[in-house]
Structure 1
Amino acid sequence: IASNPMYIPDIDVGKLALVWIMAPHQLLALGLQGHTGTGKTELALYLADRLNLPIYIVKIHARMNPQDIEGSYVLDSENNQTITRKEYGPAAKAYRNGGILLMDEFDKASGELTSAMHLLVEGKPWPLEMFKETIMKHPQCFIIGTANTYGNGHDERYITSNQMDQAFLSRFMWLETQYPNVIQESKILEKFAPRLPRHLRNDIIKLANAFRDAALGPNRDGNIDDPIQCIFSTRVMIAWAYYIQTFGIFRTLKQSLDAVFLKSVSRDDAEIANDIVTKVFGDDIHKPLKNLLEKK
């Protein structure tokens, strides 16, 4: 699967992920933890693409059961007859055939599912209950999980995250993904939206970081009193730059920002969010793009 050509990995996190994947043995699975839009899934896709590995993606959710990742028997047609055959799930395919197994948002898994995955993430012989067989891990199977939390349970920002037992969490080597710094995001926007003037791209980045300060604190460690719950991720930043352009020169910045971000902000955070926007952009937020393109 081709990775996002706009994605720029964090150098330190990317190097450590390579250390893990290129080591003679993966004694632990790799856990990528970070806030929404910090590039967890993008990093896994990037590694698979650059290392020419197949990738099997499992979107984890609370109602998923072991059968969904192990596989099941399905009805099929052969020689005008209905037959029953095995259909291995994505996790079983990766385990048997090799490649990266990406368990996306695995902190949303139920206790039943994580219990079924203990041997899987540890790389041991894995019994598939549905087929009454045990499969062995391929020597080039690499298991990566992404999560918004460290499995601590309910979070005010990520309310669907579940609490996971320590026995499961201890089977992962954890790397934390962060939002790109100002210089990195400047390069991303310059690459993605070169037709927008530099002063406008800089203000977009300034607004993104003002929201992150209010949500996560200046050190991005969550050490802040009364944080807002909305997150202005790099994904949102890129989307806004894109829709500023596609909305056209006669629509205001506020119209595109409403569409990609502000309309999704909770009522509790709405007033603070609008204050942050006004502090960064002032009256420019209500001006059409045409006026801002003329501004030097």
Structure 2
Amino acid sequence: MTDPLAEIGSLSAVDFDAGALFSGQPSGREIKGYAAACRHTPAIDPDYLFPAVMRDLVVWFMSGNDPLYLFGPTGSGKTSLVRQVAARLNYPVFDITGHGRLEFSDLAGHLTVDNGSMRFQHGPLALAMKHGGLFLLNEIDLLDPASAAGLNGVLDGAPLCIPENGGEVIPPHPMFRFVATANTNGGSDGTGLYQGTLRQNLAFMDRFWLCEVAYPDSTAEIQILERRAPALPADLRSTMVEFANEVPDTSISGARVVRELSALIDVTRATDLERGTLHTPDHGVERGVRERLVVAAWKQKVCFLEQGKPPQKVDCGFR
């Protein structure tokens, strides 16, 4: 049987012009990548719109081997940004999502049973270090700080030692890159929105380049909608973005509105599928009215609750 990792070992590094690759305009600045993609390389999304912070990520790629820590609110596109930059560079990506019970063996590898015998299976971190891939650790701020400290050596550029595999030592490949994503900057969550996140060790955080990824601005959101839904009229796309921006996204009140609205949309979609009205001409208008009603109601309800007053009747502006 063909080794699925064999093609990674045969990848050859090449230099790309960073400007030509990401903006179509040659810049004379070289960035390293691979000549061809492999099965571990993310697929290129032709409709993906790179945010302005992409420049910071490209500069980081060109600068060296220091680890990168991307943080920002949920849904701001941290993981997709990393994967789409890697896709353009033909970089293989080995990713894992952090959680409170994640252990170092989940990253480095563990013994497993294969055809009745024991063998060692390398984890995503070991594979990235060995073959020159990008290791992507999502939700790193959910890790226990004591467990995360086990990565300090790797973050400093030291080889990875795996005692469980006969003391195997994996020096970092020259193309190895380490990226972490999180909702917080490592200093824990003061908003109450990201339950389970933990304050990370300062010595651990000091090893990263920190880069914040915010939500796209209104202009970028309209461009994204244009690429994703070109059949929608331009004025409708603008209205949708304006409507979305009415909902606060940095407060607990905003989170409640978004959560309740998302739940309504899911229930509505299921109901409309049942009724067979999902694609009727009036369906979009009807849903838009219902969603605006819910947002307006929740905005006022949360406002009154925060002031210690009972919710009042809501005038949503419809007659």
Please indicate the TM-score interval, normalised by the length of the shorter structure.
0.7 to 0.9
Q: Which deviations, in whole Å up to 9, do the C-alpha atoms of 1:61-118 show, x marking residues without a partner?
A: 11111111111111111xxxx2111100011110111111111111111123202111
| Residue matched to 1:153 | 188
Shift of 1:145: 0.6
| Residue matched to 2:206 | 170
Contact 2:257 2:298 in 1 (8 A): no
| Residue matched to 2:179 | 144
| Residue matched to 1:228 | 254
Q: 1:39-54 alignment to 2 at 5 Å?
A: 39-54=77-92
Instruction: Quote the Cα distance in structure 1 between the aligned partners of 2:140 and 2:239.
Output: 35
Quick one: structure 1 residues 215 and 186, their matched pair in 2 at CA, closer, same or farther if it must change by over 3 Å?
closer
Higher relative contact order (CA closer than 8 Å, sequence separation 6+)? 1
| Residue matched to 2:75 | 37
| Residue matched to 1:247 | 278
| Residue matched to 1:219 | none
Contact 2:69 2:210 in 1 (8 A): yes
- For the pair 1:126 / 2:160, whether they are aligned, the reply is yes
Instruction: Quote the Cα distance in structure 1 between the aligned partners of 2:289 and 2:207.
Output: 41
Contact 2:257 2:299 in 1 (8 A): no
Contact 1:36 1:231 in 2 (8 A): no
Instruction: Quote the Cα distance in structure 2 between the aligned partners of 1:6 and 1:232.
Output: 25
Note the residue ranges of structure 1 that are not aligned, 5 or more in a row: 217-221, 285-296
| Residue matched to 1:293 | none
| Residue matched to 2:55 | 15
Aligned amino acid, residue 215 of structure 1: D
Aligned amino acid, residue 49 of structure 2: I
Q: Which deviations, in whole Å up to 9, do the C-alpha atoms of 1:165-213 show, x marking residues without a partner?
A: 10111111011111111111111111111222222211210122121xx
Q: Which deviations, in whole Å up to 9, do the C-alpha atoms of 1:269-295 show, x marking residues without a partner?
A: 68359x9xx99x8439xxxxxxxxxxx
| Residue matched to 2:120 | 86
Aligned amino acid, residue 247 of structure 1: L
- For the pair 1:57 / 2:98, whether they are aligned, the reply is no
Give TM-score, length-normalised by structure 1: 0.74
Contact 1:125 1:134 in 2 (8 A): yes
Q: Identity percentage over the alignment?
A: 27
| Residue matched to 2:112 | 74
| Residue matched to 1:106 | 140
Note the residue ranges of structure 2 that are not aligned, 5 or more in a row: 1-41, 304-310
Q: 1:174-253 alignment to 2 at 5 Å?
A: 174-211=210-247, 214-216=248-250, 227-230=253-256, 247-248=278-279, 249-251=281-283, 253=285
Q: Which deviations, in whole Å up to 9, do the C-alpha atoms of 1:127-155 show, x marking residues without a partner?
A: 22433333211100111111100112244
Instruction: Quote the Cα distance in structure 2 between the aligned partners of 1:142 and 1:63.
Output: 24
Contact 1:73 1:86 in 2 (8 A): yes
Q: Which deviations, in whole Å up to 9, do the C-alpha atoms of 1:218-264 show, x marking residues without a partner?
A: xxxx7xxx75334869xx8xx99xx79x93234355647979xx79x
Instruction: Quote the Cα distance in structure 1 between the aligned partners of 2:60 and 2:240.
Output: 35
Aligned residue pairs, count: 251
* SS of residue paired to 2:255: coil
| Residue matched to 2:45 | 4
* SS of residue paired to 1:116: helix
Shift of 1:50: 0.4
Give TM-score, length-normalised by structure 2: 0.69
More displaced stretch, 110-119 vs 38-47 = 110-119
Contact 1:67 1:130 in 2 (8 A): no
Instruction: Quote the Cα distance in structure 2 between the aligned partners of 1:34 and 1:256.
Output: 28
Quick one: structure 1 residues 162 and 251, their matched pair in 2 at CA, closer, same or farther if it must change by over 3 Å?
same
